[in-house]
Structure 1
Amino acid sequence: MWFLAGYAIGLLPYGPLGAHFGNRKVTLVALVISMFFAALCFLPVPLHSLGLFHIFRFLLGFSMSIGLKMAFSYIGKCYLDSEIAKMSSYLITSFALAPSISVFMTGWLVSWLGYLGALLFQFFYCVFVFFLARKLPPDQPEAMVSIHRSYVFSTFKSCFTNPRIAIPGILISLSTSLIYLFATESPFIAIDYLKLSPGVFGVLYFLTFWGALSGGILSGKTAHLLPRRVFIGIGIVIMSLGSLVTFFLFISNKVSVYSLFIPMFFILVGSSYYYANAVSIAMEQKLNKSYISSTIQFINMGITTLFVFLLSILHPTNLLVMPTLFLIILLISIVFSFILTKYTKEA
């Protein structure tokens, strides 16, 4: 929860900083800082200080959020508007690989080393991402883009009040919320209720997230065939079917490995169509791409954090909380997709 809060808040300052100093430079500095805070997360262990751990996790999330913002900034700057949906779809494949591999590896490390295994993986993941980011192509800093407070506020105001930016941000946040709710609740269901080992859970989680990989590839290959709002609708239909299956199986007390992971695979397929096409609508707007990326991802992670917090206070040990929230999120998604259709038709 603290990591997510830091992650959401951190997305805002990286917009102006990336625009002014260059995305690559800001990314590398932020990742060095993230390695520092990942190392500090070990400190509360001998001190038995949960509060200190939360602070370091918050700061780690703040620094690590540069990755999400930077990725879409590069797509917005390097590709034509007509290519953004396709490239965003392929980017989503990383959302399948990185989190699922992380959970898979952490599951086995925790089995061997306890919670210290998770902290070790966290640190070395930061190191890995830093060396990966060094291969980013240098981008020209936009020196004319001021970081003066009045300019920053006015540009963000333009982004947040533009419905073709704000509404896609809300839509992708609802997709991300489904994924984070599953990531938060599925370990409890799988390990505590179904009595799976952390290692087995990691394997199943890894396989489930190949739904996002499959969806990302399919979305990229078919991006040119239909209007984006149609693909958003297709994504909502697929996610709705997966969510309904989960809900009815859980409410029928048929909670099993199959009812937990298989519907989520299809939810992730639909999410890929939904996410990539919503992002492309926002990123094609004629405002600074770094600011647009920060805006939509702040909305994305901010709303996601609220849903995860809601899960934490709604008796998370109740098996019906997650599938019920899934249905609520899908209903909200349908409403905002219709609102977005109005604005995209006007465009």
Structure 2
Amino acid sequence: MRLRPTSPAFTVLLATLVTLASFATDMGLPVLDATAASLGVTPATAALTLSVFMIGFATGPLVFGPLSDRFGRRPVLLAAVATFAAFGALGAFAQSLGALLLWRFVMGAGAGTAQVLVLATVRDLFSGAEARARQSYVNLAAGVAPIIAPTLGVWVAAAGGWRAIYGALAAGGLVLLAAAALGLRETAPRRKQAVLTVRGTLASYGRVMRHPVTMGYALIMALCFGCLFAYVSGSSLVLIGLMGVSQRTYGALFAATAVGLMLGAFSNARLGRRGVPAARLVTAGLATIAIAAVVLLALASAGALSVWALVPLIVVSHVGQGVVRPNAAQGALEPMPDIAGVAGAVLTGLQMLGGALASGVAASLFDGRTATAMTGTMSVCALGAVAVYALVVRPAERRLAAEVETRTLRPELAAAA
């Protein structure tokens, strides 16, 4: 019953596991008011269910990533998906906001661990262009989920109320748990059965944080995610509050921009398999994101930003995101084959931190008159990602490549002498 890693079904299964977080957050967005009314709190307070989920998403992998390096990807992944399903079911029966927040936090930890282990599994099995192509296909699913999740949430809630959404998430988790249990085999490299200690775990984290390529790509991912989340957090304020579009139109426009992520990921996979170097793809993707953000800022500052300029430029920016993210993820994990779980946890944690900070800044600086807060935050993040790549990652990659070439040539020179 185990799926071959090269089969389309294997890639689909990994991609579906990544969408747990999107469905758990986006399906509940249309029914926050109903959730608040049922639990006797304000809608703003009910929105904390999103925040605690993301906190769990960021912190859970920091614990379970190292466990996957020690005990294997498969058992930890299965435990993470089972946790997501079990606490989703508990969420359906929550009678207070406090209980729901706790269940949401644990659900987030399960979803975050699943995503990190998908990245680590791809790193275990593939390298080079093929690994980047697989990461791209996983990102395709991440682009599809936000498009369909809110609508699916409305349908489920119409049939059974907001609690039915948690029941649906639990059922989906159980289906994925069965599929993963039947279809996935262990992929982690075999290691000596050393005792897992706090000191050893901290040493692994230190090794990741000292590596310029891994940390450079992790920072690029965080800054790109910050650019993306600055738009996510500010889009309703700008499109609905400033530009006057209806909520229905806003939903359609938001879904349309997500198509850019899918297009970028698909293009990256095809170009990578045709031999286009990853460095060239990352450079082009980062340039696309930065140019789109700076043009948006210029238009907003001049008071010339309209729906017809904003949406196409966001689509273009998302195409760049779809190209950069799979290459940066694989670039961060590539130097850490034996501790890919730890590296993936750092990657995810920084990504969530970048998104949270950028969205908070964009929302808090919004003045109600212009879109400069959103577009300015996007520009700072995008230009920061370009700077990290140009000043940190590329010099480190060239230096490491030169060291490898020197070690390769040394025996040949000795033999010639």
Mapped to 2, the partners of 1:322 and 1:265 lie a distance apart of 16
Does structure 1 residue 291 correspond to structure 2 residue 338? no
1:181 equivalent among 219, 227, 230: 230
Q: TM-score, normalised by structure 1?
A: 0.86
- The alignment yields a C-alpha RMSD, in angstroms, of 2.9
Q: Which has the larger radius of gyration?
A: 2
**Structure 2 partner of 1:326:** 378
The percentage of counterpart residues that share the same residue type is: 17
**Structure 2 partner of 1:30:** 80
**Structure 2 partner of 1:208:** 257
Does structure 1 residue 39 correspond to structure 2 residue 89? yes
Tell me the alpha carbon deviations over residues 237-280 of structure 1, each in whole angstroms, 9 at most, x when there is no partner.
11123223332343444555434432221111111221222222
Mapped to 1, the partners of 2:263 and 2:332 lie a distance apart of 23
2:192 equivalent among 144, 153, 172: 144
Does structure 1 residue 166 correspond to structure 2 residue 186? no
Is the Cα contact below 8 Å between 1:14 and 1:69 reproduced in 2? no
Does structure 1 residue 101 correspond to structure 2 residue 153? no
Q: What SS does the aligned partner of 1:209 have?
A: helix
**Structure 2 partner of 1:4:** 54
**Structure 2 partner of 1:306:** 357
Report the Cα offset of residue 329 of structure 1. 0.4
Q: What SS does the aligned partner of 1:41 have?
A: helix
Mapped to 1, the partners of 2:131 and 2:293 lie a distance apart of 28
**Structure 1 partner of 2:38:** none
1:59 equivalent among 101, 106, 128: 106
Mapped to 1, the partners of 2:373 and 2:277 lie a distance apart of 35
Mapped to 2, the partners of 1:128 and 1:258 lie a distance apart of 41
Mapped to 2, the partners of 1:316 and 1:130 lie a distance apart of 46
Is the Cα contact below 8 Å between 1:107 and 1:202 reproduced in 2? no
Higher relative contact order (CA 8 A, sep 6+): 1
Is the Cα contact below 8 Å between 1:106 and 1:202 reproduced in 2? no
Mapped to 2, the partners of 1:135 and 1:321 lie a distance apart of 48
Report the Cα offset of residue 62 of structure 1. 1.5
Matched AA of 2:394: T
- Mark the runs of 5 or more structure 1 residues left unpaired by the alignment: none
**Structure 1 partner of 2:294:** 244
Q: Which moved more, 1:32-41 or 1:334-343?
A: 32-41
Tell me the alpha carbon deviations over residues 301-339 of structure 1, each in whole angstroms, 9 at most, x when there is no partner.
232233233344434866432111101101211210112
Is the Cα contact below 8 Å between 1:3 and 1:57 reproduced in 2? yes
Report the Cα offset of residue 117 of structure 1. 7.1
Q: What SS does the aligned partner of 1:202 have?
A: helix
Matched AA of 1:293: G
Question: Quick one: structure 1 residues 258 and 106, their matched pair in 2 at CA, closer, same or farther if it must change by over 3 Å?
Answer: farther
Report the Cα offset of residue 296 of structure 1. 2.1
Report the Cα offset of residue 341 of structure 1. 0.9
Q: What SS does the aligned partner of 1:343 have?
A: helix
